[in-house]
Amino acid sequence: MNKYSLKTTLITATLLLGACGTNNNEDTAEETPDGTVTNPQQSETVDESQSNENSPNELGFQYFNLNIGTLENENTIHAEVNLNDSGSEAIYKNVPASTDLQGDAAYALLEPIFAEMGLTKEMREEEVIERATNEFEINEFTNFELEIEFEDGDNKTYSKSVE
């Protein structure tokens, strides 16, 4: 080997090892002026479930009050949620599932149900009733009453009684 190719090989190897030696995925902590340490990668990450928690925009409504009665019990399902600036107020009673909750625990169970229903004010009454009874797993009902205040302030009531 001549001395120029040996030098070229050594320089190339040195550059490659230098480039491989830096770990860009390494957590770097930065000290802020007040002396606390932060991780810049973490501070840029936003937990969307917390930032949008109880946001009417997610579900499309501000108020939801559902009552479903069956032959076995006239109050089989009661789900009520009021979303406001200070959070949510929720009540969830489901007799077949032996559920009787209030507050955050009730909202935690109801939120995925509401998201799955995807109710809009443009839906026909039959479709709203079908989606709600399917999501709450009620096959046959004697009384269905639902009052919704959509996020734009429009109120709609859906009701059906079966004898």
Question: In the Cβ-directed half-sphere of 56, how many Cα atoms lie within 13 Å?
Answer: 18
pLDDT digit string (tens) for 115-162? 999 999 999 999 999 999 999 999 999 999 999 999 889 999 999 998
Instruction: Give domain status of residue 9, yes or no.
Output: no
pLDDT at site 104:
92
Q: Read off the amino acid at residue 85.
A: D
pLDDT digit string (tens) for 73-128? 999 999 999 988 778 899 999 999 999 999 999 999 999 999 999 999 999 999 99
Q: What integer is the mean pLDDT of 29-40?
A: 49
pLDDT at site 21:
54
Contacts of 11 (CB under 8 A, 6+ apart): none
Instruction: Give domain status of residue 120, yes or no.
Output: yes
Range of the domain at 136: 58-161
Instruction: Give domain status of residue 8, yes or no.
Output: no
Q: What integer is the mean pLDDT of 36-41?
A: 46
Instruction: Give domain status of residue 148, yes or no.
Output: yes
Instruction: Give domain status of residue 92, yes or no.
Output: yes
pLDDT greater than 70 at residue 8: no
pTM score, whole prediction = 0.64
Instruction: Give domain status of residue 17, yes or no.
Output: no
pLDDT greater than 80 at residue 50: no
Instruction: Give domain status of residue 123, yes or no.
Output: yes
Q: Estimate to the nearest angstrom the gap between the alpha carbon of 67 and the chain centroid.
A: 23
The helix/strand/coil state of 150 is: strand
Number of domains in the chain: 1
Q: Which residues of 83-108 are buried (b: 16+ CB within 10 A; e: fewer)?
A: beeeebbbbbbbbeeeeebeeeebbe
